[in-house]
Chain A
Amino acid sequence: MLQFKELTKQYGNFTALDRFTVDLESGIYALLGPNGAGKSTMMNILVGLIAPTNGCIYYDGTDISKMDDKFRDIIGYMPQYPGFYPNFTAMDLMRYMAQMKGIPRKDAEKRCLKLLESVNLTEKKDAKIGSFSGGMRQRLGLAQALINDPKILILDEPTAGLDPKERVRFRNMVRRLSDQITVIFCTHIVSDIETIAKEILLIHHGKLLKKAAIPALVEEMQGKVWEVLPDQDGIEHLLDEYPRSSLVSRNMQTAVRIVNDTKPHPDAVSCKPLLEDVYLYMFGDDAS
Chain B
Amino acid sequence: MIYELKKLFQRKELWIVLGLTLLAILLLVLRDRSSLADAGSNSQKTAAYYDYSPEEALPLIERELEQLGSSASDINSSHYHDWRVLYHMRDLAKDFISANKNDPNVIRQMYNEMNTADSDFARRDLAHAIKLYNRVRNYKLADASSMEYFLLLLEQGGYFHYLYLLVLCTMLSPLFSAEYESGMYQILFSSKKGKAGLFRKKICGGLLCMVLFALIYTAFTFLLSWFWHGMNIRMLSAALQSSVLFRNCPYALTFLDYALLVFAMRAVIGAFVLALTALVSCFCKKNVTVFAISGITTAIPILIAKLFENVPAVQTVLNRLGIMQLSYLSNYLTEYNTVNVFGFPIGQFLLSVLCTCLLTAFLLSAAYAFWTRDTRHRRI
Contacts and interface: CB of A to CB of B under 8 A. Distances in A.
Interface of A: 47-54, 56, 65, 68-69, 72-73, 75, 77-79, 81-88, 92, 95-97, 99-102, 141, 144, 148
Contacts of B187: 77-79, 82, 97, 141, 144
A93 to B, nearest CB: 9
A72 B6 contact: no
6 contacts: A49-B189, A50-B374, A82-B183, A85-B7, A100-B188, A102-B193
Contacts of B198: 100
Interface string B191-203: 1111101100000
- Secondary structure of the B side of the interface? helix
- 10 nearest CB pairs, A to B: A83-B183, A47-B190, A87-B10, A79-B186, A100-B191, A65-B377, A77-B190, A96-B3, A51-B377, A83-B182
B194 A48 contact: yes
Nearest to A74: B192
A68 B194 contact: yes
Nearest to A78: B187
Contacts of B101: none
Contacts of B195: 48
A51 B376 CA distance: 6
A92 B2 CA distance: 11
A95 B184 CA distance: 15
Contact of A49 (B178, B193, B197, B374): B374
B241 to A, nearest CB: 51
Given A82-B183, A100-B191, A48 B375 contact: yes
A85 B189 contact: no
A98 to B, nearest CB: 10
A269 to B, nearest CB: 47
B313 interface: no
Nearest to B376: A51
A51 to B, nearest CB: 5
Interface in B229-266: none
Contacts of B191: 72, 97, 100-101
B31 interface: no
Contact of A51 (B7, B178, B183, B378): B378
B192 to A, nearest CB: 5
Given A84-B182, A85-B7, A85-B184, A53 B190 contact: no
B63 interface: no
A69 B194 contact: yes
Given A73-B192, A84-B183, A99-B3, 11 more contacts: A49-B190, A50-B374, A51-B375, A65-B377, A69-B193, A72-B193, A72-B194, A83-B182, A95-B3, A100-B188, A141-B187
